[in-house]
Structure 1
Amino acid sequence: MAFFDRNRTGELISRLSTDTAIVGKSITNNVSDGLRALATAAVGSTMMLYVSPKLTGIMMLIIPPVAIFGIVYGRYVKTLSRKTQTAVGEITKVSEEKISAIRTVQAFAKENDEAKRYGLKVQDLYQLARKEALASGAFFGGAGLSGNLAVLAVLWYGGSMVMDNVITIGELASFMLYTAYVGTSLGGMTSFYSEIMKGVGASDRLFELLYRKRGKSLPKIEGNIRFEDVSFVYPTRDKSPIFKNLSLDVKPGTIVAVVGPSGSGKSTLGSLLLRYYDPDQGNIYVDGTNIKDLNMHWWREQVGVVSQEPILFHGTIAENISYGCENATMDQIKAAATRANCANFIESFHDKYDTVVGERSVALSGGQKQRIAIARALLKNPSVLVLDEATSALDSESELLVQGALNELMRGRTVFTIAHRMSSIRSADLVACINDGHIAELGTYNELLNIEDGVFRRLVELQTMNSSDRS
């Protein structure tokens, strides 16, 4: 996730579209053109050498300066290509971000300001393109001028050789014809070199996406989760640590509620468990195996997640419920929806389970999205559960029904429930209270509640006081 924190959606879309197109062009059309030009130049140079080694030597004087100029130009174009693709990514990033939040832009009447911001990004790209055009003109113009000067030198020296009867006019004409072939081929090779350097510049960013470290999978998940002296700082935020030597040992089948003041790192604990991030120090173990040694794809298949703000994809309700279990039958999907208390409102829609939720699920209320996300977790049937206040968006009646379904789902599994409301954790086997970057208090709900001046007790009293004030 640190990678996605540093690289926003628009830039990644640019890499997957624009960069791949440039690299694709470099290794298809350009490679075939370059090979053809190389073969023609090789055959033509051989015939030139056969006709007149002296004249060939004069022609070869052009190669060293053009080669040196070409190397400098190629490096410059490679760097410029990388900057250009980054600028394209910035443009895509700005447009994607503002268009996706167009309601907010319109609400604050910022359309003109955002258009100006987009225009400035386009201007940056224009300046880079202008530099590339100037460099290209200088390189190809210089190469063409050098070639013409070499041809003039060959005509002058070749004419004197004809006058001295060293070669015939026919041989000079043949030599000039071969020179034209070689010159055309060299022009094609310089274009090939230029395009290849652009492709190399674009491929640097693609290879960042292709690198993956594969791990192993375990034959069975028991559910013993252990955090050992974990310290962590978000890579894109300030350097104040979220955790400092945090340790927590959760036995298989335990329901542990993670509580603490706002900003203490409750949700971060779930992010580390899912390996969205790696600890800066310390380790996390799953059944005695370091989580860093596990295959991330396999591990996340074993974990079910219901977040505080669930994300549904643009598609049907059935597709969203079966997202973690794509081979699920419609009967299984309906059963999960029933257990999550969302079958009734789904059946009330005209298209029922084929109802399209819309982009960013704007067609559903917060409570409806939450229940569909719970149905998705129920259908996945995971070994470990992470519930980030999974019932926060539900009314009291629905919360009771869904809590019953969650209780059934949690039975026999290791569960981390990230709790913001103290009333939702009474049934937890273990309560871990985070404060000042470590587990400040650990025990059952009643045990922590009986600690005089305890952090957990203050949290409960504060929430009780706020509830009374609202009443």
Structure 2
Amino acid sequence: MANVLSARQRKAIGMLWRFVMPYHWRVLGALLALLFTAAITLFMGQGIKLLVDQGLATQSAAMLNRSIGLFGLLVLCLAVGIFARFYLVSWIGERFVADIRMRVFNHLLELDPGFYETNRSAEIQSRLTADTTLLQTVLGSSLSMALRNALLLIGAGILLVITNLKLSIIVLAALPLVIVPILFFGRRVRRLSRLSQDRVADVGSYTSEVLGQIKTVQAYNHQAQDRRLFSAVVEQAFGTARQRIAQRAWLMTLVIVLVLGAVGVMLWVGGMDVISGRISAGELAAFVFYSLLVGSAFATLSEVIGELQQAAGAAERIAELLQARSQISAPVQACLQLPARVSGRISLEAVRFAYPTRLDRLAIDGLSLSVEPGETLALVGPSGAGKSTLFDLLLRFFDPQQGRILLDGLPLTRLNPHQLRRCFALVAQSPALFFGSVADNIRYGKPMASATEVEAAAQAAHAHDFIMELPEGYQTHLGDAGLGLSGGQRQRLAIARALLVDAPILLLDEATSALDAQSERLIQQALPRLMRGRTTLVIAHRLATVQNADRIAVIEQGKLIAIGNHQQLLASCPLYARLAALQFADGQP
């Protein structure tokens, strides 16, 4: 296998092997069962020899009974060994896939958002499901078959030589002829296996993307184009799989022809020796049995090697995920500790930042800004000005390329991200809801919150009334992403979730944009009480919602253009005055 697998694949498989090592006793038991069954299978050749030479050739009923009894005992032992081997190997395979899925998922949860900008989530999901399932199949079946047949090949080869050296030379001469196509086709199968898995991942990615946006697909009557595009993706996957299957079929065909051809020649030579009396019929029968073991072992190995090549590709793809490192992590040395509850003072000092996929365009360009504890600061400006990017930086989803951000005087880069994020409560413009009950979604940031606390947060967010109208109230299960709720209802649940966390800093990204007029008015009435004692940053395109903020920061193209209250900015900032004039001219309050 060392020549069949690349160095990177061997490293990946070695890493995955460490997942099996905690169960070394079961692995040892499976190996012993494997050795036991292989030994019994090999010993059956001697049983066949005794049956022919001492049971049939002597025409003795007693000898026949003894030979049949020995053969029956071997069959019983073989059955016990097969049961133990199958159970242990299958258990190891299932336990392995469960452990690795948990490990990969836990690792993915800690990777920074930048990783998901350059990697499709649907493809990652394919690696977590399809690739791990393939590894489970190989570890729970194919690898056992490979080891078993390798043992049979070695053992039967030795017994062939012991039984009859002349006939053994004929069979063993065919081995180099078999090894050459295995190595030749094996390299092709390995490459095509990786490509095939990538194409299957593309199918899953496209399916997830289209079905996840099914309303948009149907609203624009895009079904015909999606059928055409999906057909092209599927056909590409099929084409790659067809090439892989053809290579494996050629490999198996050549192995069978060469090995069984050698067995045929051996039978002719051996038959002539039996006729001439040079060997006994039992010796030839045993030799035929061992020859068939060698042939079947080689044929099975040639097939299993293809599956192992696929497993190597799957292991490599999973290893890539496990080897990915988050760009955002707690400092190894000099990690600072935040107090139990921060005051909420935020400072940005000459911050410059560009997203990893758009390094040539600064999202934040030399921005400096200070927010005092308990202050409400509104961020306004055109779309794409960098307002939401500031929230990403505050939550340390990304680190700025230049400058620094401080919380209560402590640089964010010297804080543990988990400790940092417990200081914030976020209400995004497009609220994220998860499959589960209404109560589960509200207590998402505080899993141990009581039902009373959940209800109080919902009432403060003016969500209680519509929740009680749902079929099972707070225990009503939501569809994916809150399917079945209006935009305003989803937004109010997200606000209730943020309120329940009771963090010292509140981040509102267009938090009322999806609310109807009545709900927005109720939320606006409640906001002063909800923000009391918290540092609050509010992103708003509708200036009427932030007129009462302590200060308003105007941002354009990642730069701070002006800062002040509503009246000051109307007089001193042309951009703000223009935005206000446009909105108020449209009749907005």
TM-score range, shorter chain: 0.7 to 0.9
What is residue 273 of structure 1 aligned with on the other side?
394
* 2:447 aligned residue (323, 326, 342): 326
The higher radius of gyration belongs to 2
How far apart, in 2, do the equivalents of 1:190 and 1:286 lie?
A: 62
Amino acid at match of 1:412: G
Deviation at 1:26, TM superposition (A): 1.6
* 1:317 aligned residue (418, 438, 461): 438
What is residue 330 of structure 2 aligned with on the other side?
215
How far apart, in 2, do the equivalents of 1:77 and 1:202 lie?
A: 13
How far apart, in 2, do the equivalents of 1:226 and 1:184 lie?
A: 73
How far apart, in 1, do the equivalents of 2:399 and 2:181 lie?
A: 46
Distance 1:149 1:391, change over 3 A: same
* 2:491 aligned residue (355, 370, 375): 370
What is residue 5 of structure 1 aligned with on the other side?
117
8 Å contact kept, 2:460–2:496? yes
Deviation at 1:377, TM superposition (A): 0.5
Distance 1:151 1:305, change over 3 A: same
1:323 alignment partner, SS class: helix
What is residue 435 of structure 1 aligned with on the other side?
556
Alignment of 1:406-425 (within 5 A): 406-425=527-546
* 1:127 aligned residue (224, 229, 239): 239
Aligned residues: 467
Deviation at 1:392, TM superposition (A): 2.2
What is residue 587 of structure 2 aligned with on the other side?
470
**Please, which moves more after superposition, 231-240 or 201-210?**
231-240
What is residue 96 of structure 1 aligned with on the other side?
208
Amino acid at match of 2:202: E
How far apart, in 2, do the equivalents of 1:42 and 1:404 lie?
A: 83
What is residue 98 of structure 2 aligned with on the other side?
none
1:33 alignment partner, SS class: helix
**Please, which moves more after superposition, 162-171 or 73-82?**
162-171
Deviation at 1:422, TM superposition (A): 2.7
Deviation at 1:337, TM superposition (A): 0.9
How far apart, in 1, do the equivalents of 2:190 and 2:566 lie?
A: 61
Amino acid at match of 2:585: S
What is residue 389 of structure 1 aligned with on the other side?
510
How far apart, in 2, do the equivalents of 1:297 and 1:192 lie?
A: 46
Distance 1:172 1:396, change over 3 A: closer
Deviation at 1:374, TM superposition (A): 0.6
What is residue 96 of structure 2 aligned with on the other side?
none
8 Å contact kept, 2:338–2:419? no
8 Å contact kept, 2:425–2:507? yes
**Please, which moves more after superposition, 405-414 or 154-163?**
154-163
8 Å contact kept, 1:383–1:414? yes
Deviation at 1:237, TM superposition (A): 5.4
1:328 alignment partner, SS class: coil
Amino acid at match of 2:306: S
* 1:80 aligned residue (188, 192, 195): 192
Amino acid at match of 1:130: R
**Please, which moves more after superposition, 137-146 or 127-136?**
137-146
How far apart, in 1, do the equivalents of 2:576 and 2:402 lie?
A: 29
Deviation at 1:381, TM superposition (A): 1.6
What is residue 103 of structure 2 aligned with on the other side?
none
Distance 1:78 1:440, change over 3 A: farther
* 1:16 aligned residue (128, 142, 145): 128
Q: Deviations over 1:314-334 (max 9, x none)?
A: 433222212222222211111
Alignment of 1:33-432 (within 5 A): 33-51=145-163, 59-64=171-176, 66-151=178-263, 174-210=286-322, 211=324, 213=326, 215=330, 218-220=337-339, 222=342, 223-236=344-357, 239-286=360-407, 291=412, 295-297=416-418, 299-395=420-516, 397-432=518-553
1:470 alignment partner, SS class: coil
8 Å contact kept, 1:9–1:96? no
Deviation at 1:249, TM superposition (A): 4.4
8 Å contact kept, 1:283–1:290? yes
2:537 alignment partner, SS class: strand
8 Å contact kept, 2:123–2:202? yes
**Please, which moves more after superposition, 132-141 or 362-371?**
362-371
How far apart, in 2, do the equivalents of 1:419 and 1:408 lie?
A: 19
How far apart, in 1, do the equivalents of 2:194 and 2:371 lie?
A: 47
8 Å contact kept, 2:164–2:287? yes
8 Å contact kept, 1:422–1:460? no
Distance 1:362 1:173, change over 3 A: closer
1:364 alignment partner, SS class: coil
What is residue 458 of structure 1 aligned with on the other side?
575
Amino acid at match of 2:256: G
Deviation at 1:395, TM superposition (A): 4.5
Q: Deviations over 1:349-391 (max 9, x none)?
A: 4533233444443433322222111111001122432210212
Amino acid at match of 1:127: G
**Please, which moves more after superposition, 50-59 or 22-31?**
50-59
8 Å contact kept, 2:384–2:557? no
Amino acid at match of 1:399: E
Distance 1:177 1:269, change over 3 A: same
Provide TM-score, normalisation by structure 1. 0.84
How far apart, in 1, do the equivalents of 2:393 and 2:179 lie?
A: 52
Distance 1:432 1:108, change over 3 A: closer
8 Å contact kept, 1:256–1:428? yes
2:247 alignment partner, SS class: helix
Q: Deviations over 1:140-169 (max 9, x none)?
A: 112223323544565688789999999877
Deviation at 1:431, TM superposition (A): 3.6
Deviation at 1:64, TM superposition (A): 4.6
Distance 1:289 1:193, change over 3 A: farther
8 Å contact kept, 1:261–1:459? no
2:445 alignment partner, SS class: coil
8 Å contact kept, 2:461–2:495? yes
How far apart, in 1, do the equivalents of 2:411 and 2:153 lie?
A: 58
How far apart, in 2, do the equivalents of 1:399 and 1:119 lie?
A: 45
Q: Deviations over 1:282-325 (max 9, x none)?
A: 55454566545655455444421101221323433222212222
**Please, which moves more after superposition, 438-447 or 377-386?**
438-447
The unaligned stretches of length 5 or more in structure 1 are: none
Root-mean-square deviation (Å): 3.5
